[in-house]
């Protein structure tokens, strides 16, 4: 109360009757705007095909690119809102949304515009990441450097000029872009003064996390194949480790991210849904928390920090994700007796009340 200006001290008291109060939840890594779905690939993977094999055979990300290019802005918006509403119902108040299913200038911009429009239609905060370096589109197969020069970097310029870019992301992987190529994208981001983040060491080790750390990345995401040396590099740069147990689960990955090394070096660990049609068709942060505990052996306390304070940090937001003076009044009230219950139940939503910027919504 001492920190509150005198003229603002007249407040309506709300009795929460002993319920748990947390910050509004932050989903700091999503591809929630996308056309179509990839349920048929799910079927193929269950019959033994790997995610990488499907991508190499012309499925995967580029299949969603085709569906996103042909979708109208209205249909992209409507389908994304269905998913966003599921997250809102569980107390999410801030979401990050990536482009990356356009891979041409026009569609990358379309995705980012749709993402931003969501914030005008729902009570939430949207941060947009430009992910032009997500995959090589069909028309540039075998010419990935030309794709970067002729499409990705010009699209980044255009999106930046339209004010649509809060961060620049990339996919550093054998089926996507090399560290050298990602470095070119990051150098462009630096010229524009935009912070970077990276899908790194998800399916194999390529050195993306160390590269991102050398650019003071906001976050390195996935990290299943990251090493203790990567954790040290991330600790030095202050990059957040964004762990995505939904993708780990859905791809039936067995290699665990280096949790002990991340902890030992004091790297902040965030959690997110990675909501996307290929590797994580997940629209529940509570389930992400449960999976982080059961699959990664994170503690329920770490899981809660992962979807609040550390999720906010992964987005460079200093005034979100905590309950204290100077923070946005984004809050969630839960019908639980102990914080661990948020991670413990599976498929149950104990949200009692949600507040976005001081308004009960
Ligand atoms: O975060 N890793 C790259 N991007 C997404 C998957 C995208 C897709 O399969 O459509 C991810 O897992
Ligand atoms: Fe992702």
Whichever domain contains 209, its CATH number is 3.20.20.140
Q: Does the beta carbon of 219 sit less than 6 angstroms from any atom of ligand 1?
A: no
Angle between helical axes of 179-192 and 153-161 (0-180°, round to 10): 20
The pLDDT, as a whole number, for residue 133 is 98
- Closest residue by Cα to atom 12, ligand 1, is 279
Q: Does the beta carbon of 247 sit less than 6 angstroms from any atom of ligand 1?
A: yes
Is 322 annotated for ligand binding? no
pLDDT band at 36 (very low <50, low <70, confident <90, very high): very high
Is 352 annotated for ligand binding? no
Is 127 annotated for ligand binding? no
Q: Would you say residue 13 lies in a domain?
A: no
Q: Which ligand is nearest to the CA of 203?
A: 1
Q: Which ligand is nearest to the CA of 280?
A: 1
For residues 340 and 119, what is the distance between their CA atoms, to the nearest angstrom?
A: 30
For residues 268 and 93, what is the distance between their CA atoms, to the nearest angstrom?
A: 20
Is 274 annotated for ligand binding? yes
Q: Would you say residue 360 lies in a domain?
A: no
Q: Does the beta carbon of 246 sit less than 6 angstroms from any atom of ligand 1?
A: no
Q: What does the mean pLDDT of the chain come to? A: 97
Q: Would you say residue 10 lies in a domain?
A: no
Q: Does the beta carbon of 38 sit less than 6 angstroms from any atom of ligand 1?
A: no
pLDDT band at 291 (very low <50, low <70, confident <90, very high): very high
**Is residue 20 pLDDT above 90, yes or no?**
yes
Question: In which residue are the tokens 């939840």 written?
Answer: 25
Domain span at 235: 26-35+63-322
- 360 contacts: CB under 8 Å, gap ≥ 6: 353, 354
The H or E element containing residue 221 is strand 219-222
For residues 128 and 86, what is the distance between their CA atoms, to the nearest angstrom?
A: 19
Q: Does the beta carbon of 107 sit less than 6 angstroms from any atom of ligand 1?
A: no
7 vs 1, residue with greater confidence: 7
Q: Would you say residue 246 lies in a domain?
A: yes
For residues 83 and 80, what is the distance between their CA atoms, to the nearest angstrom?
A: 5
Q: Does the beta carbon of 61 sit less than 6 angstroms from any atom of ligand 1?
A: yes
Is 279 annotated for ligand binding? yes
Expressed in angstroms and rounded, the spacing between residue 261 Cα and the centre of ligand 2 is 22
Mutate to test the pocket of ligand 1, among 39, 65, 274 (most ligand atoms within 8 A of CB): 274
Is 225 annotated for ligand binding? no
- Measuring CA to CA, how many Å separate 315 from each of 105, 115, 261, 332? 24, 15, 22, 20
- 10 contacts: CB under 8 Å, gap ≥ 6: none
**Is residue 238 pLDDT above 80, yes or no?**
yes
Q: Would you say residue 339 lies in a domain?
A: no
The pLDDT, as a whole number, for residue 333 is 98
The count of structural domains within the chain is 1
Q: Would you say residue 47 lies in a domain?
A: no
- 31 contacts: CB under 8 Å, gap ≥ 6: 97, 98, 100, 101, 131, 274, 275, 276, 277
Length of the chain: 361
**Is residue 10 pLDDT above 90, yes or no?**
no
Q: Would you say residue 250 lies in a domain?
A: yes
The ipTM estimated for the assembled molecules is 0.95
Q: Would you say residue 31 lies in a domain?
A: yes
pTM of the model: 0.97
The stretch 49-72 carries a mean pLDDT of: 94
Q: What is the DSSP string of 54-121?
A: HHHTT-THHHHHHHHHHS-HHHHHHHHHHHHHHHHTTTEEEEEEE--S--SHHHHHHHHHHHHHHHHH
Mutate to test the pocket of ligand 1, among 27, 30, 31, 182 (most ligand atoms within 8 A of CB): 31
Q: Does the beta carbon of 60 sit less than 6 angstroms from any atom of ligand 1?
A: yes
Q: Which ligand is nearest to the CA of 204?
A: 1
**Is residue 222 pLDDT above 90, yes or no?**
yes
**Is residue 243 pLDDT above 90, yes or no?**
yes
Is 134 annotated for ligand binding? yes
Q: Which of helix, strand or coil describes residue 147?
A: helix
Mutate to test the pocket of ligand 1, among 197, 247, 270, 281 (most ligand atoms within 8 A of CB): 247
């Amino acid at each position: 109360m001492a920190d509150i200006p005198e003229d603002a001290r007249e407040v309506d008291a709300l009795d929460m009757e002993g319920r748990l109060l947390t910050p509004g939840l932050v989903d700091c890594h999503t591809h929630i705007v996308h056309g179509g779905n990839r349920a048929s690939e799910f079927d193929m993977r269950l019959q033994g095909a790997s995610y990488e094999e499907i991508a190499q055979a012309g499925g995967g990300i580029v299949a969603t690119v085709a569906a996103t290019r042909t979708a109208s802005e209205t249909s992209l918006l409507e389908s994304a809102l269905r998913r966003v509403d599921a997250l809102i119902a569980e107390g999410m108040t801030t979401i990050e949304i990536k482009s990356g299913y356009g891979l041409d200038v026009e569609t990358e911009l379309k995705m980012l515009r749709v993402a931003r429009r969501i914030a005008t239609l729902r009570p939430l905060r949207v941060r947009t990441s430009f992910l032009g370096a997500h995959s090589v589109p069909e028309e540039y197969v075998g010419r990935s450097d030309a794709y970067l020069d002729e499409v990705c970097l010009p699209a980044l310029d255009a999106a930046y000029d339209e004010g649509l870019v809060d961060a620049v992301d990339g996919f550093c992987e054998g089926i996507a872009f090399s560290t050298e190529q990602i470095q070119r994208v990051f150098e462009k981001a630096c010229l524009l003064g935009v912070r970077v983040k990276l899908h790194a060491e998800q399916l194999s080790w390529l050195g993306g996390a160390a590269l991102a750390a050398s650019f003071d990345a906001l976050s390195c995401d996935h990290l299943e194949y990251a090493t203790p040396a990567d954790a040290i590099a991330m600790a030095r740069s202050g990059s957040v480790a964004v762990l995505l147990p939904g993708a780990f689960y859905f791809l039936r990955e067995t290699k665990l991210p280096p949790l002990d090394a991340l902890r030992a070096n004091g790297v902040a660990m965030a959690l997110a849904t990675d909501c996307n049609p290929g590797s994580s068709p997940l629209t529940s942060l509570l389930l992400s928390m449960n999976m982080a505990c059961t699959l990664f052996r994170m503690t329920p306390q770490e899981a809660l920090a992962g979807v609040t304070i550390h999720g906010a940090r992964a987005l460079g937001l200093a005034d979100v994700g905590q309950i204290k003076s100077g923070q946005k009044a984004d809050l969630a009230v839960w019908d639980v007796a102990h914080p661990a219950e948020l991670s413990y139940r599976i498929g149950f939503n104990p949200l009692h009340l949600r507040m976005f910027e001081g308004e009960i919504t």
